[in-house]
Amino acid sequence: MATTNPTGWWMYHGDPQHSGVVSGSAINSKNVGTLKVLHDLHLGGPVLSVPAVTGGYVYVGLANSAASPGNNGGLLCKINLETGKTEASFRWDINPDERDSHGFTGMGCTPAVVGGKVIFSAFNGVIYCLDEKTMTLRWATNLRYPDPAQNQWVDNFSNGTPNTAIAEGWSSPLVVNGKVYVGFGEGENPTLFGWVYCLDENNGKVVWIYCTVPVQTGVPNPPNLIPPAAAFPAGSPPDVPPPFSVAQQNPPLVGTPLAGATWSGGCSVWSGIAYDADLKRIYATTGNPQPDSNLPSALLSNGLLCLDADTGQYIGFFQATPQSSYRPSDIDVDVGGSPTVFTRSDGVKVVSFGCKNGGFFLVDAKTMKLIAWRTLLPYVVASHGVATLQLQIPSIDPHSSSSEITPHVSNATSNATPAENWMGTYSTAAVDPAGKRIFIGVGGKNYDTVSAGIDSDTTPFMRALDWNTLNDVWPTKASPISADLAAMLDGEIPAGATATLTKYTTCQPPMYTNPGEAALSSPAVVNDVVFCATSNVSLYAFNTADGTPLWQDDLGSQTGGFTGGYGYCLGPAIYQNYVVAGALIAGLDGGVLRIYKLGS
């Protein structure tokens, strides 16, 4: 039975394609400045996700709920948009040992509100389905532990290996055609594998699964194949029912395994899965492998996976390219944002995604071949006559083995020291079909002692790109670099060369203004306005055409963790004349939900 899609922001990034585009709203560049806070709500914990908004209600969950004993649990609220009243809610309490590896016990995804149901993933490894009216439980399927009653035969608990992170649910569910698609795994655990699950929307029973870690080198898995280490019940081979089968071997070793590992793992699907109705395909982005490496990396890691939506059959895979890494020493370059599917005006159907290494890619949705790519992170251009050099900026993506806070690291040191790139992107792109533009947030983790947030002196927290060429579409200007930056590049700029840095000109401030301010969030487009949230913790609106700032609101303060603070707003949801955003902030109960509405 086909699912009828509701209106509004009913699932992650607005629709199954994750376009981030809003229709049916009067919000535009002329009136967005009249947005006012209609309700400022404190629900008893931090909001670590983008809400769903449809049918006059907000559906939003907490990362930790004060209503649970010891804050060990979650709460999903149904809130009337106009009154701000919570009319129904669903709470689940968990054992502290079942929380995720970051200490969160509730949820961090956007629920899908469809067909009278509210479906979401939780940090305890369970995917829940609630009744939309009453918020009472309709079904639940455990994806961490075997759940035979739900046709779930995978053991995602790493067979009890001590001192390792356990699998958890971050992925926002995709619900189409009576099916629920969700990613699962834990990329930092070498004994766990990444998975794509397809469940029956009506009862939560597993229809098919796909393991993102091939059991044979260079050979993608067929659907429903389970490595022996992840199969239930334990045995050789375990007795799992059709259509599932157990491989004859675990995945092979890759490089030098981490302590306790006996095979390669990882490749988790952290983000929401996108769908194309014409091709009947789903697209999922994947995380790093274990053991980790720089690019190219092993297995189906750090890239874009395409599967048949009906069967789970492998169709293709594209991995972020080595040259797209800001530094050759970049490792742990997960793809944390979701893919975005759209059709350009030339008729080409495209999938876009960004990588933590700083690269952003356009891939042909049909052939899975690369169309175009660019880095989201800037370089200094040194011109000497007809010759030009593109120089890395030492303060972008610094790699250091020092324990010093914000150490000054040379390009040479960073390029020789393997480390994670925090300054690329964790964002999901939003598309502006009218302007043929793409908007993508820049920057991620904002509490690292070496490189918190982004290098805000040189880097914008959001890029505005042409959807054909990926060139910047907002006005830019190349200006001489500062004395401080010249000093950092001492010895790299040829004598007599002119060194310039290109920046956007119309959106400063707020861009290039607040130290470390990053957009670990997903932009949203409505008419000629693009919204972007940041770690500041702020929500901004810009004109899509030229980047002119139109409106902003600060949701709260960072919590003061390390150099860049610790605070998140992961992006807004838009419905009719309302904008809704939640955040993790300092003080009160650690979180806030704001409902904004256009003024007269």
pLDDT tens readout for residues 206-247:
999 999 999 998 899 999 999 988 887 665 556 789 999 999
Contact 137, 126 (CB under 8 A): no
Residue 196 has a pLDDT of 98
Q: What DSSP letter does each residue of 229-247 carry, written as one string? A: GGBSS-SSS--PPTT-EE-
Residue 2 has a pLDDT of 38
Q: How many CB atoms lie within 10 A of CB 131?
A: 14
Which residues touch 6 (CB under 8 Å, ≥6 apart)? Answer: 54, 55, 113, 114
Residue 600 has a pLDDT of 66
d(CA 344, CA 327): 31
Q: How confident is the model at residue 257 (pLDDT cuts 50, 70, 90)?
A: very low
Taking alpha carbons only, the member of 369, 364, 389 closest to residue 379 is 389
Q: How confident is the model at residue 466 (pLDDT cuts 50, 70, 90)?
A: very high
Strand order in the sheet with 437-441: 430-432, 437-441, 462-466
Contact 357, 446 (CB under 8 A): no
Residue with tokens 């809704």: 580
Taking alpha carbons only, the member of 414, 409, 390 closest to residue 492 is 390
Strand order in the sheet with 52-54: 52-54, 57-61, 73-80, 86-93
pLDDT at residue 503 greater than cutoff 80: yes
Q: What value does the mean pLDDT of the chain take?
A: 91
First-to-final CA distance of the chain: 42
d(CA 54, CA 438): 24
Dihedral Cα 377, 383, 388, 389, nearest 10 deg:
-50
Residue with tokens 């952003």: 360
pLDDT at residue 493 greater than cutoff 80: yes
Contact 271, 236 (CB under 8 A): no
d(CA 269, CA 49): 16
State the amino acid at position 426 in one-letter form: Y
Calculate the CA 10 to chain-centre distance.
18
d(CA 277, CA 176): 9
Rounded to an integer, the average pLDDT of 521-525 is 97
HSE-up (13 A, CA, CB side) for residue 265: 29
Q: Where are the domains of the chain?
A: 12-597
Give buried/exposed letters for 464-484 (b at 16+ CB in 10 A, else e): bbebbebebbbeeeeeebeee
Give ∠ CA 241-242-245 in degrees, rounded to 5: 85
User: Tokens standing for 490?
Assistant: 């001492």
In this prediction, what percent of the chain has a pLDDT beyond 90? Answer: 77
Q: How confident is the model at residue 567 (pLDDT cuts 50, 70, 90)?
A: confident
Taking alpha carbons only, the member of 461, 448, 444 closest to residue 335 is 444
Residue 238 has a pLDDT of 62
Tell me phi and psi for residue 19, to 5 degrees.
-75, -25
Q: Is 366 exposed, middle or buried (0-12, 13-18, 19+ CB in 10 A)?
A: middle
The SS3 of residue 228 is helix
User: Which ranges in 438-502 belong to alpha helices (H)?
Assistant: 483-488
**300-358, pLDDT tens digit by residue?**
999 999 999 999 999 999 999 999 999 999 999 999 999 999 999 999 999 999 999 99
Residue with tokens 């959807």: 467
Q: Considering the domain 12-597 in this protein, what is its CATH number?
A: 2.140.10.10
Contacts 24+ apart (CB under 8 A), 163-167: 164/188, 164/189, 164/190, 164/191, 164/192, 164/260, 165/100, 165/101, 165/189, 165/192, 166/98, 166/100, 166/101, 166/125, 166/192, 167/125, 167/143, 167/192
State pTM to two decimals: 0.95
Q: Which of 160-164, 387-391, 443-447 has the highest mean pLDDT?
A: 387-391
498-504 and 380-384 as β-strands: parallel, antiparallel, unpaired?
A: antiparallel
HSE-up (13 A, CA, CB side) for residue 185: 35
